[in-house]
Amino acid sequence: MVDARQQFGTRVKSLESKNVKLARGYYTTIRADGLVVARPARRGLRVPTKLLVALVVLFVCFKGFVLAAIGPTAYDSRLDSLAQGTVIEQAGAWVLQVDPVTQTLARKLGPIFRG
């Protein structure tokens, strides 16, 4: 009798975990005998789009603040020194290069930082 209860408890836990997985999404397949079976959908690595957009906006704002704070000549000289470095430093120099949005933001913030 005890063994039957343990098996029942194991089956119930298995069904509950399957139910939780199916609640997150599922797809159906038809087995060879014609039975329709629901299987949990695979969850890949999903990054929210809003998070990516927010990170890009923050990064561009950071570039604008740095450009406004140190000035365009110092910023360009630091980018040139990065461009002469390793492959990773060259990639950093490419990412940090001045774009129109950064330049506009720096022009607006320049008088605030430099008084």
Same domain for 34 and 90, yes or no, is no
pTM over 0.75: no
Same domain for 54 and 13, yes or no, is no
Partner residues linked to 36 by β-bridges = 30
Query: Structurally, how many domains does the chain consist of?
Result: 2
Same domain for 25 and 77, yes or no, is no
Same domain for 31 and 54, yes or no, is no
User: What contacts 24, CB < 8 A, 6 or more positions away?
Assistant: 40, 41, 43
Same domain for 32 and 8, yes or no, is yes
Same domain for 104 and 72, yes or no, is yes
Same domain for 87 and 53, yes or no, is yes
Same domain for 56 and 100, yes or no, is yes
Give φ, ψ of 23 to 5 degrees. Answer: -65, -25
- Per residue in 45-97, pLDDT (tens digit) is 777 899 999 999 999 999 999 999 998 999 999 999 999 999 999 999 999 99
Q: Say yes or no to pLDDT of 42 above 90.
A: no
Q: Say yes or no to pLDDT of 100 above 80.
A: yes
Same domain for 108 and 58, yes or no, is yes
**What pLDDT does residue 15 have?**
87
Range of the domain at 6: 2-40
Same domain for 12 and 36, yes or no, is yes
- Per residue in 4-27, pLDDT (tens digit) is 778 888 999 998 988 888 888 888
Same domain for 70 and 110, yes or no, is yes
Same domain for 25 and 55, yes or no, is no
Find how far residue 103's CA is from the centre of its chain: 26
**What pLDDT does residue 1 have?**
64
